[in-house]
Chains A and B, each alone.
Chain A
């Protein structure tokens, strides 16, 4: 149950696009289509932004998008806004009733 690998930080100016990766293995990210992404502001509970790799829950802006290639999932924020500054975590099913999170990526809006 090793944590998924995410870059510690990414940054961009308002209006730009940023993409963050989430690298796992053929036992988790690469094996299942159940990957999720969560946004967490300081002192707050996580909020679901993407599920099933690329689906957005209702209420999440369409500038958030998800994808996957092999053992790596990605989250892209297009048209970056100030309120997008937060920590982002990926999560994947890892088999045998277990899940694994990534270490988190801090998004900074310059």
Chain B
């Protein structure tokens, strides 16, 4: 099971950290992802991190502003979001192994960037 938290209303230019708590499996064995979905729009890949945190990737739209990280010891992983913009407003999903049979998704957390 994956449970996201940390979504809220934030002003443009502000920061937010999303968390994803994993249970029922060993986080350290899996690639982890963040995917977002604006209201009424499609899925957009945001970031991914490999099992030991040594490899990360970011969508161009968030590169330099967002940072993905993980704490395998506590079965948690994170998305630090800085310099937030209105276009970052979306439901953010954490997911496991998007490209393999063990794919699993959380229920999402809403981030709203507005003044």
B56 contacts partner chain A, Cβ-Cβ < 8 Å: yes
Within B28-71, the residues touching A (CB, 8 Å) are 33, 35, 42-45, 48, 55-61
Which of A10-18, A45-53, A69-77 binds B?
A45-53
Contact flag A104-B98 (CB < 8 Å), given A1-B59, A45-B93, A48-B103:
no
A-B contact count (CB 8 A): 69
- Classify chain A: how many residues form its interface, as a range: 20 to 34
Within B55-109, the residues touching A (CB, 8 Å) are 55-61, 93, 95, 98-101, 103, 105-108
Taking a contact as CB atoms under 8 Å apart, the answer to whether A104 and B103 are in contact is no
Q: How many residues of B contact A (CB 8 A)?
A: 25
Taking a contact as CB atoms under 8 Å apart, the answer to whether B103 and A97 are in contact is no
**Cβ-neighbour of A46 out of B43, B48, B57, B60 (below 8 A):** B43
A residues apposed to B, CB below 8 Å: 1, 3, 34-36, 38, 40, 45-48, 51-52, 55, 57-58, 87, 89, 91, 93, 96-104
A-B contact pairs, 12 of them (CB 8 A): A1-B60, A36-B99, A45-B108, A48-B103, A51-B99, A51-B100, A55-B101, A57-B103, A91-B98, A97-B48, A99-B45, A101-B35
